Structure 1
Amino acid sequence: MPGTRSLRSDARRNYDLIVAAAVAEVARSGAEASLEKIARDAGVGSATLHRHFPSRQALLEAVFHDRVEGLCAQARELTGAADPGRALADWLRAVAVHGATARGLAASLLASGRDPSPPSSSSCEFMLHDAGSMLLRRARDAGAARPEVSMDDLLTMVNAVSLATEDGPYAARLVTLAIEGIHPGPA
């Protein structure tokens, strides 16, 4: 987690308790989980929660950071795949499944995408954009992605599918449909 290494031991303990409580509560209630309940479950006051996480979005970033890091690692692994178009599609499906099954992740990513200020390099949005851009670039170079398609377009599509379904297999199916279209393949 960015910025937590220099915390005093009691502050680090509070940070970890807040994140653990937030992970559990966001899993139950989604991105709009009660911050007051999270603070109570962590055994800290509201002011302590807000000192560590000045906004709901900052807390959600901490909640989802490890999952997003896993998706980024998967993108790095897929960068060397023989079929760049399939690698991009496989990764987008993985992002959709994670977004659909991790309550609040897709909503959090869409909310951060509406923020007019550029995301920090440690934000989940930036991490996914950066990781996916490598795959998109390779797919474009191989003629497997249209030149006007942006990573912002793809992440918005994947997050929208995740929000609409909250069901991993169905999200993967819809992303596949969006990527391949409704046209039947060659006979």
Structure 2
Amino acid sequence: MTSADAGAVTIVPGRRPQRADARRNYEKLLAVARDAFAENSAVTLEEIARRAHVGIGTLYRHFPNRPALLEGIYVEQVEELCRSARELAEVLAPWDALVAWLHRYVGYVGTKRALAEQLTAAVGAPTAVFGQCRQALFGDGEPLLTRAQDSGVVRKDVTFEEVVRMVSGITMATFTEEGQMERVLDIALDGLRTR
């Protein structure tokens, strides 16, 4: 087990294969599927297996149906975002870590919305995984805010829930220029600073 594996978030326990070759196929399928769904939400599982250079049986062993694959992508992205919160806290000052993570969160929200819609359409209702993912994001994201507040650079009267709502609201706006959303996010985040 690598050090990265040791700190990994497991939102849905027991989902990932343990053998090295099975783990590689699992990760390859997720990466290919993530890109394929971004290109075309109607892409077939057969096409995903072909692009990943694995047999359809291998895909079905890991993901028995389309919702399972969509859920796997969703969980993988949440785990990556959670891991980045911990990593940023180790290498950046409190304000810089919070801002860097919230910029990553904005990128995640755009992808999350599309995946959540596909997953909900496939299964007919939100799954328990959505709640587990939200809990994991709060579990790793909230300490970044607390750390920034404790260091005196962020207002004490703001909650993580409020910050997430503000940032999520920005992602729903329509921006016509390159980099405009990031600039608006930075302006909004500046309002969190202690004066």
TM-score (norm 2): 0.58
Higher RCO, 1 vs 2 (CA within 8 Å, ≥6 residues apart):
1
Structure 1 unaligned segments of length 5 or more: list them. none
CA distance in 2, matches of 1:57, 1:22: 11
Q: Deviations over 1:65-87 (max 9, x none)?
A: 44653354123333xx2xx4565
* Alpha-carbon separation, structure 2, partners of 1:58 and 1:51: 11
How do 1:69-148 residues align onto structure 2 when only pairs under 5 Å count? 69-78=83-92, 81=93, 84-85=94-95, 87-96=97-106, 98-99=107-108, 104-105=111-112, 107-108=114-115, 119-120=131-132, 123=133, 125-141=134-150, 142=152, 144-147=154-157
Deviation at 1:39, TM superposition (A): 4.0
Where does residue 189 of structure 2 map in the other structure? Answer: 179
Compared with structure 1, are the counterparts of its residues 89 and 14 closer, same or farther at alpha carbon in structure 2 (3 Å cutoff)? closer
**TM-score, structure 1 normalization:** 0.60
Could you tell me whether the CA contact under 8 Å between 1:71 and 1:95 is conserved in 2? no
Which amino acid is 2:35 matched to?
A: A
Aligned counterpart in structure 2 of residue 17 of structure 1, from 28, 44, 49? 28
Hey, what does 1:41 align to over in structure 2? 51
Cα distance in 2 for residues equivalent to 1:63 and 1:90: 16
Q: 1:75 to 1:41 in 2, by over 3 A?
A: same
Please state if 1:159 is matched with 2:158: no
Q: How far, CA to CA, are the matches of 1:115 and 1:154 in structure 2?
A: 25
Q: What is the alpha-carbon root mean square deviation over aligned residues?
A: 4.2
Q: Which amino acid aligns with 2:111?
A: G
> Structure 1 residues 108, 72: closer, same or farther in 2, change over 3 A?
farther
Q: How many residues align?
A: 167
Letter aligned with residue 171 of structure 2: S
Offset, 1:57: 2.5
Q: Label 1:171 to 1:127 Cα distance change in 2 as closer, same or farther (>3 A).
A: farther
Q: Distance in 1 between matches of 2:115 and 2:86?
A: 17
Query: Is the partner of 2:179 in helix, strand or coil?
Result: helix
Q: Percent identity?
A: 24
**What residue in structure 2 maps to residue 57 of structure 1?**
71
